[in-house]
Amino acid sequence: MGGEVNVLIPSLLRPLVADRPELRLAVESAGTTVAALLDVIGGEFPVFNRRLRDETGALRRFVNIYLNGDDVRRLDGLNTAVAAGQEVMIIQSVAGG
Amino acid sequence: MLGWSNGTMAINQELSNDGQATLLAVGTKKGLWLGTSTDRETFTFTGPHFLMHEIPSIGLDTRDGRTRILVGLRSEHWGPTVAHSDDLGATWQEPENGAITFPADTETALERVWQIQPDSADRPGVVWAGCEPISVWKSTDGGEHFELNRGLWDHPHRTEWGAGYGGAAAHTVLPSAGDPNTIHVAMSTGGVYRSTDAGVSWTPRNKGIGAEFMPGEAPEFGQCVHKVARDPNNPDVLYAQNHGGVYRSDDAGDSWVSIAAGLPADFGFTIMTHPRRSGTAWVVPIKADVERIPPEGRLAMHRTDDAGASWTRLADGLVEPEYNVVLRDAAAVDTAEPVGVYFGTRGGSVYASADEGGHFAEVLRHLPDVLCVRAAVVEL
């Protein structure tokens, strides 16, 4: 059964997604992952995708992604399954000096 | 292409008069500043561009009848990328899929762009890059897309190359104006490598360069050469600032001789040559590996005009005391007459000299750590 996933965009990256604070993506089937969602977004906004993931597909060290409030690194990383109705939040972590 | 806008109105006012000006680009740990001047003493600056981005590399490409500013930038959060501006920083473009990205088969990700080096005037569009992890890249479209040099990437020495404090990087790429087949690179740590077949194969060229941080005789490779510069007229003459040692080669790197006598210290990061005159080079001595400050807290540039036989201390206009160092790319020369010399410190001061270092003016102060300085004569 299909539905939508809401992806919250941090303010610093909104210029890379046409100034949208959030993106609503259709989830057509079970088995969709965070990586697959980012692939869809990256197809339309490739620079945004490069800010989150390096060219090997790995999530950048100081970028955190939360799925319904849980850090995906504590779940199954970018392979964590996403279901319709869930919320994906992207936040920059602590870094720099 | 992605437009990347910055507030840069002042620079256009500076450029409203016809003629030539000097463009001074200062990359820091937290952004880029751009200045223009008609007297090379008073600059009008804009910035910070790319606030909170580290700017370790800048290339000023004045070929093809335009001034293109290329910057390697890196965010702690959002990673490294390359952007360019053809309007002196008023707007920036970033190729959507990245100018420098490792091919999938390498299973490697770009960490930092350490060097952006436009090739010679008769090879317009060719721009080289040196990156971390240790890699050399070549663009033929003005720096919008680069291709990984496979000869160096697949080099059998790769597993033995190390990392300097700042990371494992190819930090120097020196094409040769007269010979498109000869390119020198320098990496930390690994030392100098030379290709004579346009980058297909690379051989270490470190004979005579010390490696005091390793036991025993200096190896064939593994040195921590910090910067190399080429003589403007004789491409076989090279100057190197090593991690301990200042050297010259007269045979394209086959052998190196010390030219450190006469300097207060042989440690340092940067070395530059004159754009037209053979035998002239500049260094900024740092006391020692274990004491990384200007000798006695007295910052000075030193210039040789006889290929390293003697050195002249240049400190007129520099502030004392100064305990901050000048990093390997935080110094530059322009091509005006007389040649302008520029450098920045890790304490955020930037100095400019319009007379080859005879007198310096502090043109910026209290910036974040200065990582890269480049200067060019631009048409208004």
Smallest CA-to-CA distance from B58 within B341, B271, B332 is with: B332
> Is the Cβ pair B110, A16 closer than 8 Å?
no
Task: Tell me the C-alpha distance between B29 and B367, whole Å.
Answer: 9
Give the DSSP H or E segment for B27: strand B20-28
Residue B60's pLDDT is what? 98
Q: What is the CATH number of domain B2-379?
A: 2.130.10.10
Identify whether A78 is part of a domain. yes
B189 Cβ neighbours under 8 A, 6+ residues apart = B161, B162, B163, B164, B168, B222, B223, B224
Asked if residue B301 lies in contact with residue B259, where contact means CB atoms within 8 angstroms, the answer is no
How large is the ipTM? 0.93
Identify whether A47 is part of a domain. yes
In the predicted structure, residue B99 carries a pLDDT above the cut 60: yes
Asked if residue B106 lies in contact with residue A75, where contact means CB atoms within 8 angstroms, the answer is no
Task: Tell me the C-alpha distance between B241 and B289, whole Å.
Answer: 13
B96 touches chain A (CB under 8 A): yes
Asked if residue B313 lies in contact with residue B300, where contact means CB atoms within 8 angstroms, the answer is yes
The residues of A whose Cβ lies within 8 A of any Cβ of B are 12-13, 16, 46-47, 50-52, 54-56, 58, 60, 62-63, 92-93, 95-96
Edge-to-edge order in the sheet of strand B191-195: B169-176, B179-188, B191-195, B203-204
Average pLDDT over residues B329-349: 97
Task: Tell me the C-alpha distance between B27 and B371, whole Å.
Answer: 6
Residue of chain A whose alpha carbon sits nearest to that of B93: A47
Each residue's pLDDT tens digit, B183-202: 999 999 899 999 999 999 99
Task: Tell me the C-alpha distance between B351 and B364, whole Å.
Answer: 7
Q: Which of A47, A52, A93 sits opposite B94 (nearest CB)?
A: A47
Domain span holding position A47: 3-92
Per domain, the residue ranges of chain B are: 2-379
CA distances from A70 to A57, A58, A87, A88, B250 (A): 21, 18, 10, 9, 62
In the predicted structure, residue B347 carries a pLDDT above the cut 70: yes
Identify whether A73 is part of a domain. yes
In the predicted structure, residue B5 carries a pLDDT above the cut 90: no
Tally of domains within chain A:
1
The CATH number of whichever domain residue A12 belongs to comes to: 3.10.20.30
Task: Tell me the C-alpha distance between B175 and B59, whole Å.
Answer: 14
> Is the Cβ pair B77, A60 closer than 8 Å?
yes
Assign B9 a pLDDT band (cuts: 50, 70, 90).
very low
Q: Which amino acid is at B111?
A: E
Residue of chain A whose alpha carbon sits nearest to that of B82: A47
In terms of pTM, does the model score above 0.90?
yes
When the pLDDT of each residue in chain B is averaged and rounded to a whole number, the result is 94
Asked if residue B350 lies in contact with residue B344, where contact means CB atoms within 8 angstroms, the answer is yes
Reduced to 3 states (helix: H, G, I; strand: E, B; else coil), residue A19 is: coil
Smallest CA-to-CA distance from B372 within B294, B285, B270, B275 is with: B270
